[in-house]
Structure 1
Amino acid sequence: MSADSGRAVGVWSARYVWVTVGAIALIFLAATQALAVTTVMPVVSDDLDGAALFAVAFAGTLATSVIGMVGAGAWCDRAGVLGPLTTAVALFVAGLVIAGCATSMDMLVIGRLIQGLGTGGQTVALYVVVARVYPAALHGRVFAAFSAAWVIPSLIGPALAGAVAEYLHWRWVFLGVAALTVVAYVLVVARLHGVGLAPVEPARDPFASRLACAVVVAIGALVLSLAGESGPWAWAVVAASVVVIAAAVRPLLPPRTLRAAAGLPSVVLMRGLIAASLFAAEIYVPYLLIDDYDFSPTWAGAGLTAAAVAWAAASDVQGRFGDRIGSRRIALLGVTMLATATATAGLTALWHLHPAVVITGWLLAGAGMGLMYPRLTVLTLGYSTPQNQGFNSAGLSISENVAAAISIAFMGLVFTALATTDAGFPTVFAIATVLALVALVPGLRLGPAGGGRGGADRAP
């Protein structure tokens, strides 16, 4: 079952179906858990008397995921995929079990930190599975399916988690996903066991220094997420954290990423910029609907549902016609949609337009991201060799997580500083629009899907 052997049939053919089902199930369960925790964490915090650690329970998972990404990526480049995938899933499940059995908020945070290691490693390992199992012609279809795996959780995840917490117990939000993750893992491993998925020439790059950099990045991201608690020193904490993160993250990204060099560096940089734009802005869409338009939390969250569906639909279009449309055209279309959506949200807040304007406009954000996200993953694999698929896949996810963390922290401080005025919402959406437009710089330097394979953009 080699990515280079056989004719491109289909991701649901007998040859690939169980790997496809298992991989999508792992993505689906991770998405369900991420969305569900957002719903039940207030209940958890109240039950465990852990209000002081509420933010850390979220930030810790994001921070440690960077370590998991680097570790899994380096492991994949040196050996097969089963080892890192198994370890990542084990950490993910162990973190869920610890959190589900927690008797204190401290214990729950420890579980979330371990879960983050598994989440980051699992994502990278699954990307490498795609690279080494499926033909290149099917990569777009697989990643479109991964994007679609987020849709159902976004539709039912929060409501289902609320029902579980209300009628069973919040612990089952963690323990139930843990049990199902084991089943999904078995589906993947049953088909991968015994298949030669190691690179022909394993990478020999230094691992310890990269892992040390990942730890520094994780600590910086965690401190950054807590900057708002620093009072008058908040901006100084943000500035210092950003400098530390920028210095430590460079060895974890493809060379010349921060300079938007053509090819793989621009792919990775663009992923970070669009993630920084969307994920930071998306937090304030339901906030705007609740604060200015008196929506209930349920209806405010439902306002984002259509965008999730648009994301999945656009991902399918990219999977089917991405090569025909072309990478640069996808970047132009996607950035235009994302910038239009964030600008529309800002104008809605500024001019107090009807809430249907921001809800409808946010459809464009989902569609734009659906075009760009899977395409950038396909390009990353296209620019990679078996010796650096893990490094490059990790770099893509690290760029996304770190950029989003910096953007969320920065916008949070700006919004807080403008809390007594009417400029808060328009300003954060304006920042998101600028970030989206800046993404055009690397977006126009992407290159074709497979044109860079084995080229100069190999990991250092």
Structure 2
Amino acid sequence: MGVGTAMPALVADIGAVSLYAWPFVAFMAAAVFATVLGGRWCDRAGPRIPLVGAPLLFGIGLVVAGTAAGMPQLLLGRVLQGLGAGTQAVAVYVLVAAVYPERARPAVFGLISSAWVLPALLGPPVSGLVTETVSWHWVFLGLVPFVVLAVGLVVPAVRRLGPPDAHREVAPPRRGLVAAALGAAVGVAALSWASQQRGVVAAVVAGVAIVVLAPALVRLFPRGVFRAGRGIPTVVLSRGLLAGVFFTVNAYLPLMLNGTHGWSLAMAGLPLIVGSLGWSAASAWQGRHPDLPRALLLRIGFCALAVGTAGMLLVAPGWGVPWLALPFWVVAGLGMGIGFSSMSFLLLQQSGAGQVGFHSSAAQIADQLTTAAMIGAGGALLALLGTPAAALPVLVALLTALAVTGAVVAARTTPA
């Protein structure tokens, strides 16, 4: 959460502005690759080793990046961090499926959704303070004690976690999984890089990324995702739509308020804070109501997200009213808190033994892919139309349409 704040000082110290995007791209590529292979590992052998190994790998990456004197070592550290983060994200889903009864899962997913709020609020300002007063190196090294604490908490728990049932059905191996994982990693990373660039080269890279991604996604997604097939395919699609809409608006909201309306960067970050708090509050609320139908809650979440996103049409133009970003993004955050937790519940509910890792990794990739593609679309619109006041209303309209699409297909998250 804090790396973005430290990146300008980091690049000025050990790199060049032309390399600005690469630490983010390296992390993204490694996370996608680890998401796929980590999911398969968890399905076949259980989540015990990934739950310990992933934070250790992330911690080693922190040390490597924090002691870097040049860009190659920094990128190696970011790759290790991405491998740890991608594996951890899937292992947690498999753990929830293995340990918690279905009725308890809404509350668990409410806690998981809320767990990112404190880092989201504190990470950027603390990172900025550490970078200015000490060094960007300590943005990485200062987190190592937290990794040690996390591993210390997890090890006793996984010791009590039994091995996978030797008699359970395990999904058959999928051919070409490693190649598909590499293709997805390269494709998503290329889209992520292109989203931070402008011009013809970025457009060409984005086009090549899509060509590379297409065959990879056939292997990595459940059949029927792109036609909103009933059940798991639409659950995976919903994850992509939720994340793509919310995080793309999150990425462009500061530019909308600062570039178009002249707000300071500190003030322009306020909608992100209230959106995070709305997400946390709604996640906690749905966790206290385990008997509500999750497909209905997912539809309500999409509707709230659509309303919050559409409200930015009253903010993004030059004639817009900037303070409306605050109430509308609270509504969007509430929608994410309800919808994201409900989607996670449906994912586990419809995943058989030996499938949770595969389905969780597919949902994670849908999240990363849609977000990278939509942020890239925003960059292309800015390059084409020239100013945030001209480009961002078009992007917001597109994102609103995606949220409405999610509301329409949400009923298909339940099997026929």
Q: Same fold (TM over 0.5)?
A: yes
Tell me, yes or no, if the aligned pair for 2:260 and 2:388 is still in contact at 8 Å: no
Map of 1:156 onto structure 2: 122
**Structure 2 residue aligned with 1:112, among 63, 66, 78?**
78
Q: CA deviation at 1:194?
A: 4.5
The answer as to 2:341 corresponding to 1:367 is no
The answer as to 2:401 corresponding to 1:440 is no
Where 1:114 maps in the other structure, the secondary structure is helix
Q: 1:420/1:145 Cα in 2 relative to 1: closer, same or farther (>3 Å)? A: closer
Q: Distance in 1 between matches of 2:17 and 2:202?
A: 20
The answer as to 2:7 corresponding to 1:41 is yes
The answer as to 2:257 corresponding to 1:289 is yes
Where 1:439 maps in the other structure, the secondary structure is helix
Q: CA deviation at 1:282?
A: 1.4
Where 1:261 maps in the other structure, the secondary structure is coil
Q: Distance in 1 between matches of 2:106 and 2:260?
A: 40
Question: What pairs up with 1:232-311 in 2 under 5 angstroms?
Answer: 232-311=200-279
Which amino acid counterpart does residue 50 of structure 1 have in structure 2?
A
Deviation per residue, 1:334-353 (Å, 9 max, x gap): 11111111111122222623
Tell me, yes or no, if the aligned pair for 2:298 and 2:342 is still in contact at 8 Å: no
**Structure 2 residue aligned with 1:88, among 54, 62, 83?**
54
Q: CA deviation at 1:98?
A: 0.9
More moved, 161-170 vs 282-291 = 161-170
Q: CA deviation at 1:234?
A: 3.7
The answer as to 2:10 corresponding to 1:54 is no
Map of 1:142 onto structure 2: 108
Deviation per residue, 1:56-93 (Å, 9 max, x gap): 11122122211111111111111121112223222211
Question: What pairs up with 1:288-437 in 2 under 5 angstroms?
Answer: 288-324=256-292, 326-350=293-317, 352-420=319-387, 422-437=389-404
Q: Which runs of 5+ in 1 are unaligned?
A: 1-34
Q: Distance in 1 between matches of 2:352 and 2:123?
A: 37
Q: CA deviation at 1:204?
A: 5.7
Q: 1:233/1:151 Cα in 2 relative to 1: closer, same or farther (>3 Å)? A: closer
Q: CA deviation at 1:420?
A: 4.6
Map of 1:102 onto structure 2: 68
The answer as to 2:177 corresponding to 1:210 is yes
Q: Distance in 2 between matches of 1:413 and 1:78?
A: 42
Aligned length: 414
Q: Distance in 1 between matches of 2:193 and 2:132?
A: 30
Q: Distance in 1 between matches of 2:312 and 2:165?
A: 47
Where 1:444 maps in the other structure, the secondary structure is helix
Q: 1:322/1:414 Cα in 2 relative to 1: closer, same or farther (>3 Å)? A: farther
Map of 2:190 onto structure 1: 223
Deviation per residue, 1:87-109 (Å, 9 max, x gap): 32222112111111110122212
Q: CA deviation at 1:260?
A: 0.8
More moved, 377-386 vs 416-425 = 416-425
Where 2:21 maps in the other structure, the secondary structure is helix
Q: CA deviation at 1:306?
A: 0.9
**Structure 2 residue aligned with 1:182, among 132, 135, 148?**
148
Q: CA deviation at 1:187?
A: 0.7
Deviation per residue, 1:399-442 (Å, 9 max, x gap): 11111111111221112211158421211111111111121243
Which amino acid counterpart does residue 280 of structure 1 have in structure 2?
T
Q: Distance in 2 between matches of 1:144 and 1:342?
A: 22
Tell me, yes or no, if the aligned pair for 2:298 and 2:343 is still in contact at 8 Å: no
Tell me, yes or no, if the aligned pair for 2:232 and 2:350 is still in contact at 8 Å: yes
Tell me, yes or no, if the aligned pair for 1:199 and 1:386 is still in contact at 8 Å: no
Q: Distance in 1 between matches of 2:384 and 2:191?
A: 17
Q: Distance in 1 between matches of 2:41 and 2:63?
A: 25
Q: CA deviation at 1:310?
A: 0.5
Tell me, yes or no, if the aligned pair for 1:199 and 1:387 is still in contact at 8 Å: no
Q: Distance in 2 between matches of 1:234 and 1:309?
A: 35
Q: 1:414/1:199 Cα in 2 relative to 1: closer, same or farther (>3 Å)? A: farther
C-alpha RMSD of matched pairs (Å):
1.9
Q: CA deviation at 1:159?
A: 1.2
Identity %: 37
More moved, 249-258 vs 221-230 = 221-230
More moved, 109-118 vs 82-91 = 82-91
Where 2:170 maps in the other structure, the secondary structure is coil
Tell me, yes or no, if the aligned pair for 1:128 and 1:390 is still in contact at 8 Å: yes
Q: Distance in 2 between matches of 1:333 and 1:230?
A: 36
Q: Distance in 1 between matches of 2:220 and 2:163?
A: 23
Q: 1:202/1:445 Cα in 2 relative to 1: closer, same or farther (>3 Å)? A: closer
Q: CA deviation at 1:147?
A: 1.0
Q: Which runs of 5+ in 2 are unaligned?
A: none
Which amino acid counterpart does residue 381 of structure 1 have in structure 2?
L
Q: 1:146/1:348 Cα in 2 relative to 1: closer, same or farther (>3 Å)? A: same
